Amino acid sequence: MHIKGKVAIVTGGAGGLGQAIVRALLEKEAKVCIFDIHADRGAEIESSLQGQFGGDKVSFSLCDVTDEKGFKEAFDGVVARHGQVDIMINNAAIVTEKIDIDKMLMVNLGGTIRGSNLAIKHMRKDEGGKGGVVVNVSSVAAIESFHTIPAYTATKSGVVGFTRSWAANPYLKEMDLRFCLVCPTAFASFIFPDPMTQALYVEDVKKFWEKHGSEDPKDIAASVIDLLEDDDSNGTIIHTRSKGQNRRVKIEATDEPT
C-alpha cells in the first residue's frame, strides 16, 4: 500500500504508542483521525499536529471503543469528512488486572473487534468498498505466558486469534482486505502510569522490565508502517523487542473454505 493520501483511524491515538503511530502515518502523508477517550489530551495533540502537518491532515474524535453506537458514529464521521477509510489501527488498550477485568475485556478485545468490524464493513470491495488494511496491536503476552497479568494476557491472546482468523479467510482477495498484527514486548504508555499497580506479582514485573528494557514507541510504529506498506503482509505478526531482532511470523491463509 502507498500510504500517501490514504485515510487512517488510530484508536487510543492519544496514548504513548498511539501518538507514535499517528505521527508515523502523518510523516507518510496520510490523513489521520485520532480516536481516544481522553478529550483534553486528544485536543492538545490535534492542535499540535495540525500546526505541524496541516489542519486537513489530522483530526481528533472523542471515542469510547466500548460504546458500539458512539464508535460507529465516530467512524461514520470520518467517512463523511474524507469519503473513505483505508487503514484501521486498533490500538486502544488498558491494564486493569486488579480493579476491573470486565472493562479490560471490553476495551482490549471488544474494542478491537468492533473497530475491525466497522472497517471490514466499510472497506470490503465485494460490497462496494475500496479495500484496505487492518492492523491490530496485541502484545508479547499473547505469544508468551505471563503469570503477572493473566486476564490482560487473555484479552491480547483473543486479539491474535480474531486477527489470525480474518487473515485466514479464503475470500479476502475479493474483499481486497489484509489483516496484520504487531505484538510489542514492553513500552512506556499512558495506559501504564505506574506499571506496578496492576500486576499480581510486582517483583516479577520489575525483573521483567530490568531484563527486557523498554521499547521506543517510534520503533513499534515503524513496524506498523512496515506492515501497511508490504502488500504481502496479510497474516503477518511482528513481535517487536526493545533490543532489536524483531521476530516476524507469517500465518498462511487456507486455500479452501472448511
| C-alpha torsion 111→21→138→95, nearest 10 | -70
Active site residues: 152
Contact call for residues 74 and 177 (beta carbons, < 8 A)? no
Query: What is the rounded distance in angstroms from the CA atom of residue 218 to the CA atom of residue 212?
Result: 17
* Residue 47 CB partners (closer than 8 Å, separation 6+): none
User: Residue 93 has which C-alpha cell?
Assistant: 488498550
Output the furthest CA–CA distance in the chain (Å, rounded). Answer: 53
Q: Is the dihedral of CA 59, 60, 63, 69 positive or negative?
A: negative
DSSP classification of residue 215: B
Give the up-direction half-sphere exposure of residue 25: CA atoms within 13 A in the CB hemisphere.
Answer: 31
The full DSSP string for 144-202 is S--TT-HHHHHHHHHHHHHHHHHHT-TTHHHHTEEEEEEE-S-B--TT-SSTTSS-SSH
Question: What residues form DSSP beta bridges with 247?
Answer: 239
